[in-house]
Amino acid sequence: MKTMTCNQLAGACEEKFTAETFEEIAEMSKQHGMAMFQQQDTAHLEAMEKMKVLMQEEGAMEKWYAQKKQAFEELPEDDG
């Protein structure tokens, strides 16, 4: 199991996501982002806007995903 925070995934808080795979972490982050959007959380909305601008470039999403997945792979396993 490994843990990443919302901030590590370009978000706006220290919410922790723990899973066996990056794909699971990405899904947890997506669900968290949707919840924050529904709550109209200002910090998260600002982070989402930054991501939206960043993702305008062709291939940017794939590059971002690959970089975050690599960061996940390099993390040590959680203690316990």
Domain encompassing residue 7: 2-74
Residue 80, pLDDT score: 64
Q: 74, 12, 78, 10: which is closest to 43 by C-alpha?
A: 12
- d(CA 62, CA 55) in angstroms, rounded, equals 9
Query: Considering its fold, how many domains does the chain have in total?
Result: 1
User: Does some domain include residue 52?
Assistant: yes
Write down the residue that tokens 């939206």 correspond to. 52
Q: What is the pLDDT of residue 54?
A: 84
Q: What is the pLDDT of residue 55?
A: 86
| pLDDT number for residue 10 | 93
66 within some domain: yes
Does residue 26 lie in a domain region?
yes
Q: What is the pLDDT along the chain (80 residues), one digit of tens a residue?
A: 999 999 999 999 999 999 999 999 999 999 999 999 999 999 999 999 998 998 898 999 899 999 999 999 999 999 86
Q: What is the pTM of this model?
A: 0.88
Tally of CB atoms within 10 A around 17: 21
